[in-house]
Amino acid sequence: MSKFIARRPALLLTSAFAALSCAASAWAEEAKPTTELSEIIVTAERRSENLQKVPLSVAAVGGEQLRAFQTGGDDILSLSGRVPGLYAETTTGRIFPRFYIRGLGNIDFYLGASQPVSIIQDDVVLEHVVLKSNPVFDVQQVEVLRGPQGSLFGRNTTAGIIKFDTIKPSADFNGRAQASYGSYNTFTLDAGVGGPIKGEELTFRLSALYQHRDDWVDNTYNGPSADGTITPKNDAMGGFDERDVRGQLLWKPTDRLSILGSAHAREYSGTSTLFHRAGLAQGSNSVSGVSRSQVAYDEGGDNPQAYKTYGGSVKAAYEFGPMTLTSITAYETTSGYSRGDTDGGAAANFGGVGFGESMGKVRNLGQYTQELRLASAGDSRLKWQVGGLYFDSRDTTDFYQRAYFTGTNPNNWVRLRNVNTSWALFGQVSYEVLPNLTITAGARTTEDSKETRLLKTADSAAGVVTYTGRKFVSLSDTQPSWDLSALYQVNPDLSVYARIARGFRGPTIQGRSAVFNSDFTTANSETILSYEAGVKSRLFDNRLRLNATVFTYTVDDIQLNGNDSNGNGVLFNADKAQAYGLEADAEWRPIPNLVLTGGLSLLHSEIQDKRVYAQVCALSGVVVCTVQNPTIKIGSNVYAQIDGNPLPNAPEYNLDFTARYTFPLRNNGEVFVATDWNVQGYTNFVLYKTKEFYADGNFEGGLKIGYTPADRQYELALFARNITNEKNLKGVIENYMAAVLNEPRIIGVSLSAKLP
């Protein structure tokens, strides 16, 4: 039935195309639109500023542009490759995105993993990996701040920040909605409405997101299942349901005081990442023979995952004339699970070798943050801000292994209690020392403490405790962060800047190893020293905006993650990693009706430590991939030297391009054609080099054809995401030679509307 449903969009597309064709027949002979670019305002320094006057590398993505990327049901990962220097991926489905900026990230799939990229939503830092998957909807703008951002935002971050700002309540009644329907019965509704309750004193905004896709992947395995998974089964997995709501209330009892309250809820259920066992043949990284619509799983219960998340914040600001005091209090909580057939196939199809199944379950998580900030008001030559942050995150998390699900060992699981607390004091000052020269300096001191306690060990079926490792680990560190930048305005259309910054990431604990009766692994703090210089320009009478940055950085004691003989993540520090590269963003209106944007990132990264080795791909003691680094053997395990290798998931280059051409109509309406493309260079997925575990030349494109009437109150469009249906390798499970693939082509129709 769902195979038929997946073809139903063709009927809608035919009808919509006919409507667009009728509209196109009324094209006007002349058009007089403006070719000037509009100003982009960002809050990268916690105050509203023109993007061209901010002394750091920032990219901004408008809400409409982000929603265009997500019409096919995509989530937060749709930003990957759309911003120079930003990459994102997952091997744990929609609830565990992993982000990388300038090559820095974390490939660890542990639910307590620390990531060097911070997510900030409406001024609130989201630290836990599940919270980082919170859907983005009714968004005003996304900003990507590249490089260390230790002075002003959230906790320390060595790589950068992705900042989402939603549409806020206003005294003017307004609303917007976008609905789309496409292949596999994929449906998305992203909407928001708001306005006055009591004039300008009390206003509201209510926002919602609903996404759905039918299960569309068949499980073709036809044999016995040790855990009771029903096989074979058509349309067994691949779908999802995402339901989210957010309410905001803004109260302005006086001209000086404003209080913004926000609350949100999420209910998600879907399918965890599908691994395709033996999708990679030894000596090759081609996935041309792998079917996205079929798997052969003997276990895993159809790879289900589900999470519920709730949260809220109160932001209060009081103006004391020359300064403003701001308080941001927030709380986030989540619970849920993700289960999967982690070998990506049926062991019976591989000589009975290699069974894999696991589940991670966050029983409860609570994150509390409190920030106070005092900042100068106005637009004087001297601007300053000082403040403090307290962060407290506590969770109880279980990890289950295969014997638990097969019933052979009901004790084959562990329970961990993780606590992460942090406090920081920070400040920044910016001074216009000359009419065209501004110097900015920021500093922060941070204490970051983590502890993990093993509440339940993975015992034998008879209840015998076999674990001999540590049951409690506590780590803490206090470090300074700082940055210094200078921006010189050569003329109103050209500025140059330079920036140096130091950041640090606190120590990390990997506790999941206990489920295999292995001791915890840890990593000490890492620090980064980053240099960048750039140019920000408006050219050709403000028809071209071109910003470019060159950078280099060194990360000392970099935290890395490899695998042990069980395929479990192992934390360790390497001596250092060094990188250099370039980022460029451009927006160009060369002629009336045509808008072009482009982005380019170039990166060379290198791990530097001749003493560090990583365990390579092996199954039952046999190396299954083609390792291209020097190796050593310790016991029955083989390890590869990683010195000189690039950082994992750090594309050597990334190119993105969009174009939109508008055909004006005699009735002042418009027909438009828009397209977007992304090309990704060589990307190594693991710490060691192989002939299999990398991607090179991945690309995807999108197309949109639509109509808007004269009043611009709605837009009707046809769209296609991954229009060429490219099959791209996005990740691997090493010991099973398993491939992780990108999303299939989605074709559909979308309707956007706004009020008034």
In angstroms, what is the C-alpha Rg of the chain? 26
Pairing of strands 117-121, 160-166: parallel
| Full strand arrangement of the beta sheet holding 294-295 | 233-237, 217-219, 294-295
Strand, coil or helix: what is 19?
A: helix
What's the chain's length in residues?
756
Phi, psi of 445 (to 5 degrees): -120, 135
Residue 734 per-residue DSSP state: G
CATH 2.40.170.20 assigned to domain 2-755? The reply is: yes
Q: Are 424 and 418 in contact (CB under 8 A)?
A: no
Angle at 477 between CA 474 and CA 483, to 5 degrees: 150
For the record, the structure tokens of 559 come out as: 């935290």
For the record, the structure tokens of 84 come out as: 């120079």
232-259 residue pLDDT tens: 999 999 999 999 999 999 999 999 999 9
Pick the closest to residue 79 from 101, 57, 95, 46 (CA basis). Answer: 101
Q: How confident is the model at residue 567 (pLDDT cuts 50, 70, 90)?
A: low
Least confident of 217-226, 632-641, 645-654: 632-641
Q: In the 3-class helix/strand/coil scheme, how is 302-338 assigned residue by residue?
A: CCEEEEEEEEEEEEEEEECCCEEEEEEEEEEEEEEEE
Strand, coil or helix: what is 5?
A: helix
- State percent of the chain over pLDDT 90: 86
For the record, the structure tokens of 647 come out as: 């950082």
Can you give the residue ranges of every domain in the chain?
2-755
Instruction: Please tell me which residue, 64 or 202, carries the higher pLDDT value.
Output: 202
Q: Which pLDDT does position 125 carry in this prediction?
A: 94
Pick the closest to residue 238 from 90, 69, 360, 94 (CA basis). Answer: 94
Residues 721/726/732/737 CA torsion (nearest 10 deg): 150
**Average of pLDDT values for 394-417?**
97
Q: Which pLDDT does position 321 carry in this prediction?
A: 86
Q: Which pLDDT does position 590 carry in this prediction?
A: 95
The position carrying tokens 């939109």 is 660
Strand, coil or helix: what is 28?
A: coil
Angle at 345 between CA 339 and CA 349, to 5 degrees: 150
527-560 residue pLDDT tens: 999 999 999 999 999 999 999 999 999 999 999 9
Q: Which pLDDT does position 109 carry in this prediction?
A: 82
Cβ atoms within 10 A of the Cβ of 394, count? 15
Q: Are 533 and 580 in contact (CB under 8 A)?
A: no
Supply the DSSP string of 339-406, one letter for each residue. Answer: EE-TT-S-GGGGTT-----EEEEEEEEEEEEEEEEEEE-SS-SEEEEEEEEEEEEEEEEEEEEHHHHH
Distances (CA, A) of 639 to 237, 516, 623: 36, 20, 10
H or E, element range at 284: none
Q: Are 216 and 233 in contact (CB under 8 A)?
A: no
The residues, any chain, with a CB within 8 Å of residue 15's CB and separated by 6 or more, are none
pLDDT value at 355 more than 60 = yes
pLDDT value at 88 more than 80 = yes
Chain centre distance of CA 661: 30
Q: Are 13 and 718 in contact (CB under 8 A)?
A: yes
pLDDT value at 563 more than 80 = no
**Average of pLDDT values for 405-433?**
96
Distances (CA, A) of 654 to 134, 266, 681: 26, 33, 6
Q: Which pLDDT does position 8 carry in this prediction?
A: 41
463 exposure class (CB count in 10 Å sphere: 0-12, 13-18, 19+): exposed
Q: How confident is the model at residue 5 (pLDDT cuts 50, 70, 90)?
A: very low
Q: How confident is the model at residue 657 (pLDDT cuts 50, 70, 90)?
A: very high
H or E, element range at 731: strand 729-733
Q: How confident is the model at residue 21 (pLDDT cuts 50, 70, 90)?
A: very low
Give Dmax over CA atoms of the chain in angstroms. 84
Chain centre distance of CA 270: 18
Q: How confident is the model at residue 32 (pLDDT cuts 50, 70, 90)?
A: very low
Least confident of 21-30, 154-163, 190-199, 727-736: 21-30
Distances (CA, A) of 747 to 5, 14, 350: 13, 12, 36
Pick the closest to residue 429 from 418, 416, 443, 419 (CA basis). Answer: 443
The position carrying tokens 């058509």 is 234
Q: Which pLDDT does position 721 carry in this prediction?
A: 96
Q: Which pLDDT does position 153 carry in this prediction?
A: 78
Alpha carbons 643 and 611: distance in angstroms, whole number: 8
Q: Are 239 and 216 in contact (CB under 8 A)?
A: yes
Mean pLDDT of the chain: 92
- State percent of the chain over pLDDT 70: 95
Q: How confident is the model at residue 11 (pLDDT cuts 50, 70, 90)?
A: very low
Alpha carbons 137 and 116: distance in angstroms, whole number: 24
306-326 residue pLDDT tens: 999 999 999 999 999 899 999
